[in-house]
Amino acid sequence: AQKVTQAQTEISVVEKEDVTLDCVYETRDTTYYLFWYKQPPSGELVFLIRRNSFDEQNEISGRYSWNFQKSTSSFNFTITASQVVDSAVYFCALSVFSTGNTGKLIFGQGTTLQVKP
């Protein structure tokens, strides 16, 4: 079975602070994909990043960076110099393509990030 855990329910920071959102996953499959999605108050899920299990290189995109560590089954997300527009719920998700698994996304419970001016 697959599982995603986001232990932080809510985080509040002041604008320009750095913030890291934690994600821990469980799967027995050797091939899998990890995702981060943003859900602003409007409700639509916005895709941020996808990583496959064979690529542990960290990635940076502007103020966003992701740290994938297979040894600890973690895929953490850092926002540098946070802005008010970063306020949203962030979801980590896992998908597997194997017998009985059709690539459906397994989501964590989400972390609500509030960035105060």
Partner 1 sequence: GAGVSQSPRYKVAKRGQDVALRCDPISGHVSLFWYQQALGQGPEFLTYFQNEAQLDKSGLPSDRFFAERPEGSVSTLKIQRTQQEDSAVYLCASSLGAQSTEQYFGPGTRLTVT
3-state secondary structure 2-45: CEEECCCCEEEEECCCCEEECCEEECCCCCCEEEEEEECCCCCC
Nearest distance in Å: CB 16, partner 1: 28
109 binds partner 1 (CB under 8 A): yes
**Per rule CB under 8 A, count of chain residues that contact partner 1:** 23
Tell the residue number behind the tokens 């999605």, with chain if given: 37
24 binds partner 1 (CB under 8 A): no
DSSP bridge partners of 4: 25
Q: For residues 37 and 79, which CB has a smaller minimum distance to partner 1 in the complex?
A: 37
- Residues that bind partner 1 in the complex, under the rule CB under 8 A: 4, 33, 37, 42-45, 47, 50, 52, 91, 93, 95, 97, 102-110
